[in-house]
A and B are shown apart, each in its own frame.
Chain A
Amino acid sequence: MASNLVSVPDSRGIVRDALAIGVATGAYALSFGAISITAGLNLLQTCALSALMFTGASQFALVGVVGSGGGVWAGVLTAGLLGSRNSLYAVRLASLLDLRAWRRPAASHFVIDETTAMAIARDEVAASRYAFWATGLSVFIFWNLGTLIGALVTHAIPNPRVLGLDAAPPAAYLALLAPRLRAREPLAIALAAAIVAVVLLPFVPAGLPLLVIAVLVSLYGLARGRP
């Protein structure tokens, strides 16, 4: 019985954490809304990305590539490649959440960095599930609200380039990348990828350097894993 229920103090703590994470992601959604409008997407497209794609790095990459003149399909490719990590989060969550029927497609939408971190940090399965849904709902609400506000404000500015917003995507990528660089190997991979991208760029069509890098890093990862 006890394992099916979340105790009151537990649930309060989870809701408090979920709200804090929601507010923090809402703040950075402001910058997503602003960058997306500056990149040339309209208000509805910007909000559609936050509501339907709902995974930060992919959203920033799509509008960043479009804004830098890389073309929309290169942006789609990059967003998809960046979204691949969510498949692994889903695998970790699948056994924890034990989803059936209609809940699986609904839960899929909430499979992101924040919900995964909150869910796997719990000791009990019931608390994990509660944390997953509470965080998902909180982040979804604040993420879309932040996007809308950021987009509306930027929409009202005649030329957002004056604010340097067109140059902001690399800072956003860096802020997303930094927490993943806590060991020597990812740092080396990041530097190598940056160099390969810059070297390839003048010689191949837009979007291709990123695909080449994704293939190279995958081959490296698979080869290294072999006993």
Chain B
Amino acid sequence: MWAGVLVACGVCYGLKLAGLSLPQRWLQDSRVQRTVPLIPVALLAALIATQTFATGRHLVLDVRAAGLAVAVVAVLLRAPFLVVVVAAAAATALLRLV
């Protein structure tokens, strides 16, 4: 686990440093500028889907879907970050008790 943690920290730091150090025109290309912001959008959405509707490599529908639904409502109500997370966790925990 430590190796992964430290490598990931190094990679993320390297990406920040690269942006400050590389020749400006490399990353100022308009296609790069428009493409890179799309990556977190796609990856975050994919992470939501896989960690809500799958366990390992098996697709499952369980209480986590209800937790996500609560999170969606909280986001639509413009709740702060912590409230969104706590509401989803609490909804999941309560449904598991039922």
Interface residues, chain A, with chain B CB atoms under 8 Å away: 24, 27-28, 30-31, 35, 40-42, 45, 48-49, 52-55, 57-58, 61-62, 64-66, 68-69, 72-73, 75-76, 78-91, 93-95, 97, 99, 104-105, 107-109, 111, 162-165, 167-178, 180-181, 186, 189-198, 201-202, 206, 209-210, 213-214, 216-218, 220-222, 224-226
Contacts of B98 in A (CB 8 A): none
Closest 7 CB pairs of A and B: A90-B19, A221-B35, A225-B31, A164-B93, A171-B88, A164-B92, A72-B4
Determine the main DSSP class of A at the interface with B.
helix
State in angstroms the CA–CA spacing of A109 and B14 once bound together.
9
How distant is A160 from chain B, measured CB to nearest CB, in Å?
Answer: 9
Determine the main DSSP class of B at the interface with A.
helix
8 Å CB interface, B39-59 against A: 39-59
Size range of the chain B interface in the assembly? 35 or more
Asked whether A68 and B24 contact (CB < 8 A) given A81-B43, A225-B35, the answer is no
Contact between chains at A107 and B46 (CB < 8 Å): no
State in angstroms the CA–CA spacing of A216 and B39 once bound together.
9
Asked whether A193 and B43 contact (CB < 8 A) given A167-B88, A178-B75, A220-B38, the answer is yes
Query: B84's closest neighbor in chain A, by CB?
Result: A175
Contacts of B75 in A (CB 8 A): 174-175, 178
Query: B35's closest neighbor in chain A, by CB?
Result: A221
Contacts of A174 in B (CB 8 A): 44, 48, 68, 71-72, 75, 84
Contacts of A62 in B (CB 8 A): 4-5, 8
Contacts of B30 in A (CB 8 A): 225
Contact between chains at A52 and B9 (CB < 8 Å): yes
Contacts of A80 in B (CB 8 A): 8, 11-12, 15
Q: Say which residue of B5, B15, B47 sits within 8 Å of A173 (CB atoms).
A: B47
